[in-house]
Every structure is written in structure tokens, then in C-alpha cells.
Amino acid sequence: MTVVHGVFDPVTGEQIRKAVAAETNRLFHADGGRAKGSDVRTPEQRRADAVAAMLTGASRPGGCPPVRNQVLLTATVADGAIVDGRLPDGRPLPDAIVERLACGSDLYALLLSQAGDPLWMGRRVRLATDAQWRSLIARDGGCVICSADPSRCEAHHVVAWQPPGAGPTDITNLVLLCGHHHHLVQGLGWRLVRATDGWELQPP
């Protein structure tokens, strides 16, 4: 067996982690997803295969849609300066790295005002915009029920967009749910309710 070990700076490490998570998720669906994915190979085997495919340049099958796996930098704008740069898990970044990323990077930067102004789209659109998606990653971190990685999540309307709910596509009406929990809510009638310390699902 070959063991691969590496130590990376926080930004590079986050890029690698997100890329591996996205490729692992693609393999999970290629194996049959929740229906039979666990029968094909274990999560550990799938993750190792994902790393191998990325390192060896194995081609992706045609027609596979891109996965939202942007690496996100959150920061605050105060007095015209970008300060308090952090990765989504809260790890702080030196000001020098924040300045470098602000000049141009494949990382997406979400700049929050000191008041934390949300993004509101009303009912003009049904699907969350890319900017809202990045805001959801910064706020929720992953599935609000099981903390699954954002690459496995979808933006869910707390109050359904379709009538009779007619909920808006506003950041305050959106949460991240993994595919499994999203199916419980939209397909099996479970209710997503706010609890004292977050969110919880209630059976029908």
C-alpha cells in the first residue's frame, strides 16, 4: 500500500478538501447514490479513489454537471478596509493573505458589512443565486441538520416558494440541506422547524 501525507497552508488545504469532497460526491452518485452506493465501496474507499483520480488525471464522464465546490473567504468591510478574513470553518487568515486574495483568486470572497446585510431576491427568482449560495455557505457551513459538506447540499426554502406558501427567495428564507434531508422535507412530508439551538426535522 502507498500512504500519501501532506501538510498545507490553510487556504491550499481548504481548496484540496473541497475538491476531494466534490469528487467523492460525484463517485457516490456514480455508484448509485443512497440506493446502492454503500454496497459498491465504503466511504473511505471512495475518498481514496477520488484522490487517485484527481492525482492521475482520470477523465470525468461526459455530461456530469459541475459541482458547487467554491472555496469561500468571509471578511468584514470596516472603514473602507477588508479585515477579519476567515475560512468558512472560522479559521482566521493573515491580512497579507486577505489582500492577496482580494487582488485576484479562484476563491470566492463574500464581503459582509458590519451590519451583516442579507441578500434579498423576493419572488423574482426561484433558485438561489450564486451570491446567495456563497452567503449560505458562510452562514450555515453545511447541512443545518447533519453538517454535510456544502457540495452535497441544496438551497431549501423554509417557506415553500410554490403556492400556497409563496415564500420569497431571500437569504432569511433559505437554508442548506443535504440531498437526504431535502428529500425528507420535500418528498416525504417532514417539517423543518427552528429550534432554540438551530434547526430540527419533525416527522409527518
Cβ neighbours, 10 Å, residue 157: 22
What are φ and ψ of residue 203, in 5° steps?
A: -65, 160
Query: Directed axis angle between helix 43-56 and helix 10-30, to 10°?
Result: 110
74, β-bridge pairs: 86, 110
What's the pLDDT at 157? 93
Query: Residue 113: pLDDT above 60?
Result: no
What's the pLDDT at 6? 86
What's the pLDDT at 27? 87
DSSP 8-state assignment for residue 170: B
Between residues 98 and 160, which one has the greater pLDDT? 160
pLDDT digits (tens, 9 = 90+) for 25-67: 888 888 888 877 778 888 889 889 888 888 776 645 543 444 4
Pairwise CA distance, residues 169 & 171, whole Å = 7
What's the pLDDT at 114? 53
Between residues 191 and 72, which one has the greater pLDDT? 191
Query: Residue 9: pLDDT above 50?
Result: yes
The domains of the chain are located at: 10-56, 72-112, 130-202
What's the pLDDT at 62? 46
Query: Residue 193: pLDDT above 70?
Result: yes
Report the chain's C-alpha Rg in angstroms.
19
Task: With beta carbons less than 8 A apart as the criterion, state whether 57 and 30 touch.
Answer: no
Q: How confident is the model at residue 122 (pLDDT cuts 50, 70, 90)?
A: confident
Q: For a pLDDT cut of 70, what percent of the chain falls above it?
A: 75
The predicted model scores a pTM of 0.53
pLDDT digits (tens, 9 = 90+) for 126-168: 888 887 888 898 889 899 999 998 888 999 999 988 888 888 8
Q: How confident is the model at residue 176 (pLDDT cuts 50, 70, 90)?
A: very high
Query: Residue 108: pLDDT above 70?
Result: no
Pairwise CA distance, residues 154 & 103, whole Å = 30
What's the pLDDT at 97? 72
Cell matching residue 39: 454496497
Q: What is the mean pLDDT of the chain?
A: 78
- The SS3 of residue 84 is strand
Between vectors from CA 178 to CA 173 and to CA 183, what angle results, nearest 5°?
85
